[in-house]
Amino acid sequence: MASKVAHAYYLDDEVLMDAVKACNVKHYHIEEVYTPFPVHGLDKLMGLPHTRLAICAFLYGLIGLTVAVTMMNYIMIEDWPQNIGGKPSFSFLENMPAFVPIMFELTVFFAAHLMVITFYMRSKLWPFKKAENPNERTTDDLFCIELDASTAGEEELTSFFKATGAVEINFKNN
């Protein structure tokens, strides 16, 4: 974390996007952007790497599918063989159509829940966690750019942010 940061507040996501572009042109280093809702294209402008959550979701889905197959095979075929719709074949494959809904549901269940948990862990979110955003209005109607202010002067940054349409500019020493 930079020793000194600037917080510039904006009222509109389009204005914010233009400001981020202006920062890129000036080669200012953006630490973080706080927005009340996901802003499309912001991640690409900030140069954030593509999320790998989708790969996790796929693997979690595979785990869910495996759990479902193993579970249904144990419960319905091996441990206490069940007569499924008058087809007591004692074979997983021949009774498989009956298990497809369960296989599907558990695939979705595992993918969804584990993905959410992964997302929380990756974002360092947990119960009773103290909020990191500089101003609670960034969860309501304000957009905030947090900029590394150690390389440029306060006056230079203030006039720069004013020009990009910021409504409020603060500096903070860490």
Partner 1 sequence: MNTFTNNIKILPIVLMALGLIGMAIGFSSAPGSIEEVEQILASQHHGGHGEGHATESHDTHAAPAQHDAHAEQGHGHEAHGTETHGKSHDTHGEDAHGAHEKHLKHVLHQLQNKPWAALYVAAFFFFMISLGVLVFYAIQFAAQAGWSPLLFRVMEAITAYLLPGGIIVFVLLALSGFHINHLFVWMDPEVVAHDELLQGKTGWLNVPFFLIRAALYLTAWNVYRHFAIKFSKKQDEEPTGNVWYKKSFKAAAVFLVVFIYSESMMSWDWIMSFDPHWFSTLFGWYVFASMFVSGITVIALVTVYLKSKGYLAKVNNSHIHDLAKFMFGISIFWTYLWFSQFMLIWYSDIPEEVTYFVQRINDYTLPFFGMVALNLIFPLLVLMNSDFKRINWIIILVGIVILVGHYIDIFNMVMPATVGGSWSIGLPEISAVLFFLGLFIFVVFRALTKGELEPSGNPYLEESKHYHY
Interface contacts to partner 1, rule CB under 8 A? 40-41, 54, 58, 84-87, 97-98, 100-101
Residue 53 or 163 having the CB closest to partner 1: 53
For the CB of residue 41, give the shortest distance to partner 1 in the complex, in Å.
Answer: 6
Give the type of residue at 165. Answer: G
Nearest approach, Cβ of residue 17 and partner 1 (Å): 11
The smaller minimum CB distance to partner 1, of residues 49 and 85, is found at: 85
Phi, psi of 81, deg, nearest 5 = -55, 130
Closest CA to 43 of 53, 32, 52: 32
DSSP H helix total and E strand total for the chain: 5, 4
Q: Considering the complex, what minimum distance in angstroms separates the CB of residue 63 from partner 1?
A: 16
Integer angstrom CA distances of residue 115 from 55, 125, 131: 10, 14, 22
CB 142, min distance to partner 1, A: 24
Task: Compute the least distance from the CB of residue 150 to partner 1, in Å.
Answer: 34
Measured from the CB atom, the residue of 41 and 116 that comes closer to partner 1 is 41
Q: How far is CA 23 from the centre of its chain?
A: 24
14 vs 154, which CB is nearer to partner 1? Answer: 14
Q: Kindly tell me which of 58 and 90 has the beta carbon lying closer to partner 1.
A: 58
DSSP 39-100: PTTHHHHTTPPPP-HHHHHHHHHHHHHHHHHHHHIIIIIIIS----TT-----HHHHHHHHH
Q: Give the type of residue at 111.
A: A
| Cα–Cα distance measured from residue 40 to residue 11, given in angstroms and rounded to the nearest whole number | 16
